[in-house]
Structure formats: structure tokens, C-alpha cells
Structure 1
Amino acid sequence: MQLFYSASITQESDLYTFPREESKHIIRVLRKQTGDEITLTNGKGYLFKGKIIDNNPNKCTIQLHSAQFQEPLPYKLHIAIAPTKLNDRFEWFLEKSTEIGITEITPIICDHSERKQIKEERFNKILQSAMKQSLQVHLPILHPAISFKDFIKSQPQASFSGIAHCEEGEKSPLTKEITASKDILILIGPEGDFSPEEIRNALASNYTQITLGTSRLRTETAGIVACHSIAFLHQ
């Protein structure tokens, strides 16, 4: 099944016209004809189906005939993670975490961060593409980049909030901590790790120190390990 995306479609929508580039893809690449069925989502849990009534490659139009709501993940997962120095590594995290299952992503700028700006528009397109490729109908929320300090001050506590870091100290395995949690927030630092002050601030805000295993992981790998561990335990 080929899944398309449009944030503007609602349950009340009757007709939808695709943008020019997507219309070209549907008509000239996929070779869809009038009467062919199209499936799309608004990223808010709805799966829509419609039939092409105008196969114009510049403005392909469909008549919507059904809308079905699909339940979200049985848990809420918010990962606040430092953008990596190389954009492609962070983009890989965005893609794979969407495929596995994640609710919210916040890029956090830390004391040791080498990258302090993100390409929000590009990152959102990657999330959309990953959602469509994995045939999901809930688009993860990508928040604007924020400093670690401001994030700790402004973000409400989840039922479980953990910080993964490489410093010495007593840590609890993530898989042990989240078995009963349905609202989870995980902090993952940059390549240079969180600073000692950032770790102290997180602990003062009631974050739990967690470990993701015995190996030292890259930032994007740590994000995927956390994402997969939580998904696996909630199957």
C-alpha cells in the first residue's frame, strides 16, 4: 500500500487536491488513473481512502469516501536528545525512531553540543516520510530546539523521567524502570555527554539516572536503543 500525507484533511473533508509535485508522482510515476483508490493520513490517527476523480498531473483530485481512526501507541514516549554534529546521524535517528514508535522529540542544546541549530523543516519531512513508509498514521511531534537548562525548567515531569549519561555513578537499567510506565521521558546527551552540572540539574529535578547497556553508545544509537527497549516492553 502507498500511503500519502496531508495535515489539512479532516473527517469532514469531501475532496482533496494534491500539490503539484505529489500530483506528478501519483499520475506520472505511479501511473494512477481516474477511479484508482488512494490512501492517505493526516498524521493525527486517521486513515482516509478516496478515489481519483481528476488525474491531472498538476492537481490530482480525489473524492474521499472513508475515514478510520487508529489508536495511538499504548504508551507516550518523549525523547529529548542533543542534535549530532553530522546531520545525517540525527536524521537516521528521526527516521528509525518513527518506524519503531515515538510520540515526541525535542532537540536539546547542551553544554557540550557541537551543533546548536537544526533544520526543522527538513527534519519534519523526514518524520513524514518515515511515517508513510512504515504505514503509520500518528506523526511524531518535533519540538523546536531548546537549551537543556530551559527544557528542564519548562518540561512537566512524566510518570518516568530518566537521564542516560556516561559518568560514573549508580544507574538503573532502563528496562527495569519502565515496565509499568505509560508516560516516559528520556534525556540523551551529545557526543561529549552531558556536563556534570547538567546531570546535577536533572537529578535535582527528580530525573532517574539510567543505563542503556554496557557499551558506550553514540547519541543516535542511544536514542534508538531507548526507543526500541520501550517498544519491546510494551508489546
Structure 2
Amino acid sequence: MKLFYIARPEDETMVLDENESKHLVRVLRLKQGDTIEAVDGEGGWYRGVIADAHVKHCRIGELRLLRREDPIPYHLHLAVAPTKQMDRMEWMLEKATELGVSEITPLLCMHSERKTIKPERLEKILVSAMKQSLRAYKPRLNPLREFRDFLMEPRGGQKWIAHCFPGKRSDISSIPGSASYTFLIGPEGDFSEDELKQAMASCYKPLLLGESRLRTETAAIYVCASMRFRHALG
């Protein structure tokens, strides 16, 4: 059954947004009386019946909660510099969502080649990836943040910065388990030395992601997959 995305409903009726409505009516050719399933991005999984197959605001009735999905047992926050080519950033968000990332903050760094993003477009990527992977949780996408400002925000749990500078770094396979992780992933030109010093002064620990030099999006996926296996989710 095709899965749709809805905001958490307050009663037994809900209206799909224009994107979901158009896909339901024009692509899937569903009609009034057909049954659909939907997730709310907060763990809820629902079933309902199409009451009005409108191409811009399809109304779903007889909604009932089928189950509430358990969240993964850790909070994974990726703070990552957007890539120069936006399609690589979108691919990263898609795969990170499939692997269970909880929160994403785009970072504006000294060596960043992309200084703007389109949040609406990226939200669509997250919704699509959530549905494709049959998950009921949508990652939180934060606004673009200056690197220094991000470091100043209070943050608990383990905090790591992946970088390519020489020196002692902990391999990601050796970091201890935790209920919360924040990982800083830099742009194509890596973090600056000053940014690395700022992060370490803010209690971020240096992290090694293997011996190869990875692209920004590859490093982010490496982190997501490593944490998933670290917690034996497979």
C-alpha cells in the first residue's frame, strides 16, 4: 500500500497538502472510497479512507491510529556543511533519513562553497525518504547556522568533529555508546584550523572516519551507518 505524509491529526479527518494530494490523484489515480495509510513524522501510523479526491487538498476521513512506532534508541544530530552541488546534499539527506538520523543542521563554515539552501525542497526530500523507507519519524531540519553560533548552543551527549588534520583522533568504531550524539561534518575544503580549535574548546572531540579522505556527503552517511551498527540495528 502506498504511504502518505500527514501532520498529526486532531480528529478523524485530515487534508493532505498539495504535493501529496497531486500524487494521490494524478499519479496513483486513487479515488473516493479508496483506503490509504499515512505517517505523521512523529511516530504515528494511520489508516483512512479518501473522502474527497481533490487534486490540491485531498480530504481523508475515518482516520484511525494503527500503531505508534518506537523511536531508535539514540538521538543522532548531524551538523554538516551543504555541498556545492545540491544534488549531492539531497542524496545525503535521503540516505541519512533511511539510516535513522534524528536532526540535521546545515552549517556555514569558513570554506563553505554553498552559502544558501532551499529548506522547502530539502523538507520534500526528507518526507520522501521517510515514506520510502517505511519509517514514521521525519528528521528535524534546522535553519542554516553559522559554525561559531552552532558551537555556542548548549548541547548534551557526545560531541565529535570529523576532520583531516594530522594529530590524534578517535576512530568512530571505538567511540562509546550514548543516548545522544552530535557530529560536525565540514565542507569539501574541510574545517579551518581556527574552526577546529573553536570546536575542541567547546568540548568536541576529534574524530577519524577511516584512512581515506571522504567527500562531505560520504562522511555523513558513514557516521549514520556506523551509529546504526553501533547500536545493533543492522
- The reply on whether 1:184 has 2:181 as its aligned counterpart is yes
User: 1:1-235 counterparts in 2 under 5 A?
Assistant: 1-7=1-7, 9-10=8-9, 12-20=10-18, 22-57=20-55, 59-67=57-65, 68-154=67-153, 156-178=154-176, 180-234=177-231, 235=233
Question: Structure 2 length normalisation: TM-score?
Answer: 0.93
Residues of 2 paired with 1:118 and 1:153: CA distance?
22
Q: Displacement of 1:35 after TM fit?
A: 2.8
Q: Counterpart amino acid of 1:168?
A: P
Between the aligned residues of both structures, percent identity stands at 48
Question: Which shifted more, 120-129 or 13-22?
Answer: 13-22
Do the aligned partners of 1:37 and 1:50 also contact (CA within 8 Å) in 2?
yes
**1:58–1:92 distance in 2 versus 1, CA, 3 Å:** closer
**1:62–1:225 distance in 2 versus 1, CA, 3 Å:** same
Residues of 1 paired with 2:54 and 2:113: CA distance?
47
**1:124–1:66 distance in 2 versus 1, CA, 3 Å:** same
Q: Counterpart amino acid of 2:135?
A: Q
Do the aligned partners of 2:21 and 2:55 also contact (CA within 8 Å) in 1?
yes
Do the aligned partners of 1:13 and 1:64 also contact (CA within 8 Å) in 2?
no
Q: Counterpart amino acid of 2:218?
A: T
Do the aligned partners of 2:13 and 2:63 also contact (CA within 8 Å) in 1?
no
Residues of 1 paired with 2:170 and 2:18: CA distance?
51
Quote the RMSD (CA, aligned, Å). 1.6
**1:41–1:216 distance in 2 versus 1, CA, 3 Å:** same
**1:77–1:20 distance in 2 versus 1, CA, 3 Å:** closer
Question: Structure 1 length normalisation: TM-score?
Answer: 0.92
**1:153–1:57 distance in 2 versus 1, CA, 3 Å:** closer
Q: Displacement of 1:57 after TM fit?
A: 4.4
Q: Map Cα deviations across residues 118-157 of structure 1 (whole Å, 9 max, x no partner).
A: 1111111111111111111111001001111111012x23
Aligned pairs, number: 231
Which runs of 5 or more residues in structure 1 are unaligned?
none
Q: Displacement of 1:71 after TM fit?
A: 1.2
